[in-house]
Homo-oligomer: A and B are copies of this chain.
Amino acid sequence: MSPDPTDARPLYAKVREQLVERIRSGVWKPGQLIPSEFEIAAEFGVSQGTARKAIGALATERLVMRQQGRGTFVVEHTPAHVLFRFFNMFDAAGELITPDSWQATCTVAPADGPEQMALHLAPGAEVIRIGRIRTRDGTPFICETIRLPQELFPDLARLDPLPNTLYDLFQKTYGILLVRTEDRLSATAADAETAGVLNLAGGAPLLRIDRTAFGLDNRPIEWRVSLCHLQGAHYLART
C-alpha cells in the first residue's frame, strides 16, 4: 500500500498522510463528517488508538474538528470561521472588526518579479490581480492588493461582484483550503494615490500587512498586501 515498503516512519504518520490526501483531493469535502475512528482503523488495518492519533494530528493542524459523541468533521471556511481564523484586526475595545468589501477591480497579467517570487511561479505564468477597498462602518480603512496564480482559479476574474470573504470562495468553488498564513507587518507613509482612496492627508502613517497564505501542500496560494488606516484599531498577534 505504501509506495516505499522500507518507509520507517511511524504507522500513525503514514495514516495521517493518507487522510490529508483525502482532504486535499476532495474525497472528503469541507464540512463533511469523516468515518469514525474504528472505521478508519479497520480500513488501514491498525488499531483504533493509532487511527485516533492520526486524526488527532489533523485536529492540531486544524484540518478537522472533533466533537465527542458526534464525530469528526473536515473544517469548513464559512465567512464566520474565516473571520475568526484568519482575520486579526480588533478595535480599541477589543472587539473583532468585520470589514465590508467595496469597489473591487480584477485583472489578469503575466507575473512580474515580486509576484513570481511570492507565489513560486515559473516565468511567464499568469496572475490574477485584485484591488479592493475595505470599509468599516461605511468609511474606507484598508486598501488591499491581492495576487493569485491564474492557473488555480480559472474564471475567477470574470466573477462580478467578488464576494466579501475570498477564502470562503477559494474553498467552496475551487476546493482550495488555506491552512497557514505568514503576515509581515511594517509601517509606511501613505502615498498620494492611497491617501486619496482612503481620504487622508498624504504621508499619514499606515500599517502595512504583507501576507502569504499557504494551502494543504504548503504551496503559496495568495499574496496580499493591505494598507490599513487603523483609527484606534490594531492587529493582534498571539505569542
Pair A182/B234 contact, Cβ less than 8 Å: no
- CB contacts under 8 Å to B, within A106-164, are none
CA distance A60 to B235 in the complex (A): 25
**A185 and B239 form a contact (CB under 8 A):** no
Stretch in A1-9, A69-77, A199-207 with 4+ CB within 8 Å of B: A199-207
CB distance from A8 to the nearest CB of B (A): 14
Cβ–Cβ < 8 Å partners of A208 in chain B? 187
Contact (A188, B205) CB under 8 Å given A236-B182, A237-B88, A237-B237: yes
A189 interface contact, C-beta 8 A = yes
Cβ of A173 < 8 Å from any Cβ of B? no
Q: Which residues of B contact A236 (CB under 8 A)?
A: 182-185
CB contact list, A217-239 vs B, under 8 A: 228, 230, 233-239
By secondary structure, the A interface counts as: strand
Residues in B whose Cβ lies below 8 Å from that of A185: 185, 207, 234-237
- A230 pairs with B187, CB closer than 8 A: yes
| Residue of A60, A181, A233, A234 contacting most chain B CB atoms (<10 Å) | A234
Q: Which among A188, A207, A208, A233 has the highest number of chain B CB atoms within 10 Å?
A: A207
> What chain B residues lie within 8 Å of A60 (beta carbons)?
60
* A85 CB to nearest B CB, Å: 9
Q: Which of B88, B90, B205 contacts A206 (CB 8 A)?
A: B205
Whether B233 contacts A183 by the Cβ 8 Å rule is no
**Residues of A in contact with B (beta carbons under 8 Å apart):** 60, 88, 90, 180-189, 203-208, 210, 228, 230, 233-239
Q: Which 10 A-B pairs have the closest CB atoms?
A: A205-B205, A187-B187, A237-B237, A187-B207, A184-B234, A187-B205, A185-B235, A183-B237, A186-B234, A189-B205
Other A-B pairs, 10, CB within 8 Å; known A182-B238, A184-B235, A185-B185: A181-B239, A183-B236, A183-B237, A186-B207, A187-B205, A187-B206, A187-B228, A189-B205, A205-B205, A235-B237
